[in-house]
């Protein structure tokens, strides 16, 4: 069984063991999650406070217990992930995909960073030029970025990859 890291537990919320969550919001639909080095925990409640998802986990009933979990990576079993519509991808499915700029191989996706309104692709250029060592950040939802099964295609705008 493959586990997929979907985020991390953040700061405690309230006095009854709630924890803010940073990562894929689909965790709010899960009945259980896997906490790194701690095993499975049931998700008893998930709700939004403004733009932050708060989780209440089985056995975590007070703020002190919640504080001990801050920063712990959260995983879901791949078999528990909801199926996506064709053409939609989870962040983990984008990592390692080749990146093409103007149709030419340019690098690969090294990560995806949630950044509010638009998630950012973290792109590691490849090749022998000076650009190979510098990581680039590109808005994933931009109209000039197309994600396909074979890779990520970017039609650069001035200054995007400089």
Clarify whether residues 75 and 8 are in a common domain. Answer: yes
Give the residue-averaged pLDDT of 141-146.
Answer: 84
Exposure string of 53-79, with b = 16+ CB inside 10 Å and e = fewer, is: bbbbbeebeeeeebeebeeebbbbeee
Answer whether residue 85 is part of any domain: no
Domain closes at, from 34, 54, 79: 79
CATH number, residue 145: 2.30.30.240
Q: Are residues 53 and 107 in the same domain?
A: no
Is the pLDDT assigned to residue 129 strictly greater than 60?
no
Last residue of a domain, one of 18, 48, 79: 79
Q: Up-side HSE of residue 17: CA atoms within 13 Å toward CB?
A: 12
Task: Note down the domain range covering 67.
Answer: 3-79
pLDDT the model gives residue 41: 97
pLDDT tens string 73-111: 999 999 888 888 887 888 888 999 999 998 889 899 998
In a shared domain, residues 103 and 125: yes
Residue 148 is assigned to a structural domain of this protein? yes
Helix, strand, coil distribution of the chain in percent, nearest 5? 15, 45, 40
The reply to whether 139 falls in a domain is: yes
Buried residues in 8-42 as b, exposed as e (16+ CB within 10 A): bbbebbeeebbbbbbbbebbeebeebbbeeeeebe
């Amino acid at each position: 069984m493959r586990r997929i890291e979907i985020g991390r537990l953040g700061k405690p919320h309230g006095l009854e063991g709630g924890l803010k969550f940073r990562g894929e919001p689909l965790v709010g639909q899960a009945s259980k999650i896997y906490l790194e080095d701690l095993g499975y925990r049931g998700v008893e409640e998930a709700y939004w406070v403004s733009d932050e998802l708060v989780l209440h986990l089985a056995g975590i009933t007070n703020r002190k217990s919640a504080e001990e979990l801050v920063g712990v990576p959260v995983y879901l079993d791949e078999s528990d992930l909801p199926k996506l519509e064709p053409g939609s991808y989870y962040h983990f499915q984008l990592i390692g995909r080749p990146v093409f700029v103007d149709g030419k191989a340019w690098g690969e996706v090294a990560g995806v960073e949630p950044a509010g309104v638009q998630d950012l692709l973290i792109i590691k250029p490849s090749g022998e030029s000076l650009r190979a060592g510098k990581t680039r950040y590109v808005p994933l939802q931009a109209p000039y970025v197309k994600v396909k099964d074979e890779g990520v295609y970017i039609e650069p705008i001035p200054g995007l990859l400089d």
